[in-house]
Copies of this chain bind each other. A is one copy, B any other.
Amino acid sequence: MTDLPIPSVTTGPLPASTKVFKPGVLHPDLRVPMREIALHPSAGEPAVTVYDSSGPYTAEGAQILIEQGLPRLRAPWLAARADTEAYEGRHVQPADNGFVSADRLTPEYPTRHRPLRAQGGRAVSQIAYARAGIITPEMEFVAIRENLGRAAMRERMARDGESFGAAVPDFVTPEFVRNEVARGRAVIPANINHPELEPMAIGRNFLVKINANIGNSAVTSSMAEEVEKMVWAIRWGADTVMDLSTGRNIHNIREWIIRNSPVPIGTVPIYQALEKVGGIAEDLTWEIFRDTLIEQAEQGVDYFTIHAGVRLRHIPLTVDRVTGIVSRGGSIMAKWCLHHHRESFLYEHFEEICQIARAYDVAFSLGDGLRPGSIADANDAAQFAELETLGELTRIAWRHDCQVMIEGPGHVPMHKIKENMDKQLEICGEAPFYTLGPLTTDIAPGYDHITSGIGAAMIGWFGTAMLCYVTPKEHLGLPDRDDVKTGVITYKIAAHAADLAKGHPAARLRDDALSRARFEFRWEDQFNLSLDPDTARSFHDQTLPKEAHKLAHFCSMCGPKFCSMKISQDIRDEARAQAGMSDMAAKYREGGDLYMPMPEDAPAS
């Protein structure tokens, strides 16, 4: 499992797409990336602007050398705040890479930057600045990024949707972002040691985001594969990436990923801590865990999943479950608690964990270690008991100026999904919810991107801020590159369906543009506006390969004679030609009637 010295990653623009940058106002040096999809001249429409999480990799003629890493665009912003200090930091130890043998060691990242931390124990978190009334460059970056098409939209259409009490504004101002972060309703995961980051927000009043999980395991995969998986996942729209590696080389692989990631990177530190104690849960200690947090904070991890909600008292509630505890972190902590018969060290030391997080601005993703692993266990006593604890921990984290989001299930039948959202909002004071699916049935292994995509779309509509993807390999194996893409596209669908249903003012622009292209047989535009232009095109070409058919006013489903779109266009022309037709339309809308003289041979019906 040795790595190429310089692995290559996927680069280049998506079809008909150009990466454009918008400047800031408060911070004129900002260059906020967006993707413009050009339409065929016959459309007579402007290019469609879409959210772009893919980073420099999709720029025209991108020159990517992953051993150099991405530009450190946040460095000047951090320097300007003058509240951090560079220090020598922790040095890599054999344990950090799981005591891997030299011949299997992933090479250390070529360049090492001295880590930053807050000066004198102060909080350098976005929530601390927000509460102090400061609009950071990160906040303005987010405001501009979230505003795609909103201005245009306002003239175009009235708001249409059901947001269940969310407060999605017509236009996102930097002040709105600051206020949402200050209230804890949004997080901007942005470790001060991840200056390569293009800031994004996770919150109910912003676009619904999606996370893609990558990571090697004891069983398989290498650094080169993981870096490419990250680049591949963001190419298709992943907003954050979690590195869930559990095998050897965890430290070194993570460094290669972070230095090349324009999106926030999340981890579950307990996984690495467990490797450090040879995989024996009982041997975990607070000291080893604490050391792991600092190790990862110095590398630039943007959010930590912390399973501090799994308390000794909760464990008996899982004994009679069909699938017990299915969260890895949760089961590790449960085993530790039960073995020592004492309270979780994560729960006991949570305030110290907050002290570390605020010094680097690592956001918390409070893990739902007791999430249901089957329909039978959904919304049970164990799950909701833990949620109460997560609410308590949320308030502690906020007291320490830490950013917090809450992880959610899991496996939940449709009729129990909304209860999860409502309880989370109430118990956790509107901290952003971050759910895994949920899967709406257990009977389709191999298709759990779909069983969970259904639940994800619904809970996203109800208010979940970020959806953690599920791939077709869930429950069965490790996702490969194709699985990652399928998972990401499925979750982009769920997130977008949620934005539409919530009535996000800009969401429908893309649907309408694609539908107009469809109605006007602009096949190329239809492909280019889709979430996956390559697949759309290849499916079309399987039946009608010829270039000429890209201009055809029909497709393979019906052929020319049966094309409803074609007939419908004739109808429109004919209808418009017929005098007074549109006046009639108006009459009908008012419920007016029209007597149609019948030939004698036609019986009344």
Contact = CB atoms under 8 A, between A and B. Distances in A.
Interface string A485-502: 000011011101110111
A542 interface: yes
A443 interface: yes
B532 A444 contact: yes
A217 interface: yes
Interface string A336-364: 00110111010111111000000000000
A165 to B, nearest CB: 14
A87 interface: no
A328 B453 CA distance: 30
A221 B326 CA distance: 47
Interface string A161-176: 1100000000000000
B596 A342 contact: yes
A353 to B, nearest CB: 10
A379 B131 CA distance: 44
A332 interface: yes
Given A338-B575, A347-B605, A475-B518, A530 B444 contact: yes
A429 B89 CA distance: 73
B374 A536 contact: no
Interface string A314-327: 11111110111111
A149 B239 CA distance: 44
A339 B559 contact: no
A572 B281 contact: no
A121 interface: no
Which residue, of A447, A532, A563, has the highest number of chain B Cβ atoms within 10 A?
A447
Interface stretch (A28-36, A224-232, A509-517): A509-517
Copies per complex of this chain: 2
A373 B352 CA distance: 56
A555 interface: yes
Interface in A521-557: 526-527, 529-532, 535-536, 539-540, 542-544, 555-557
A371 B348 CA distance: 58
A112 interface: no
A532 B444 CA distance: 7
A373 B441 contact: no
A330 B497 CA distance: 27
B514 A568 contact: no
A327 B514 CA distance: 18
Which residue, of A274, A497, A516, has the highest number of chain B Cβ atoms within 10 A?
A497
Given A220-B543, A454-B454, A414 B572 contact: no
Contact of A496 (B312, B328, B443): B443
Contacts of A496: 441, 443
A477 interface: yes
A336 to B, nearest CB: 10
A82 interface: no
A174 to B, nearest CB: 28
A476 interface: yes
Given A447-B490, A529-B443, A582 B503 contact: no
A589 B572 CA distance: 65
Interface string A424-454: 0000000000000000111111110111011
Contact of A441 (B443, B511, B585): B511
Interface string A9-50: 000000000000000000000000000000000000000000
B219 A556 contact: yes
A553 B284 CA distance: 23
Contact of A328 (B480, B564, B588): B564
Nearest to A602: B348
A596 B348 CA distance: 11
Given A323-B565, A415-B461, 6 more contacts: A322-B512, A414-B498, A446-B530, A451-B493, A451-B497, A477-B540
9 contacts: A161-B413, A218-B562, A246-B561, A316-B584, A328-B562, A332-B564, A338-B574, A442-B518, A444-B531
Interface of A: 161-162, 217-220, 246-247, 271, 274, 279, 281, 312-320, 322-328, 330-332, 334-335, 338-339, 341-343, 345, 347-352, 373-376, 381, 385, 396, 413-415, 440-447, 449-451, 453-454, 457-458, 461, 472-473, 475-478, 480, 489-490, 492-494, 496-498, 500-503, 508, 510-512, 514-516, 518-519, 526-527, 529-532, 535-536, 539-540, 542-544, 555-565, 567-572, 574-576, 578, 581-582, 584-585, 588-589, 593-594, 596, 598-599, 602-605
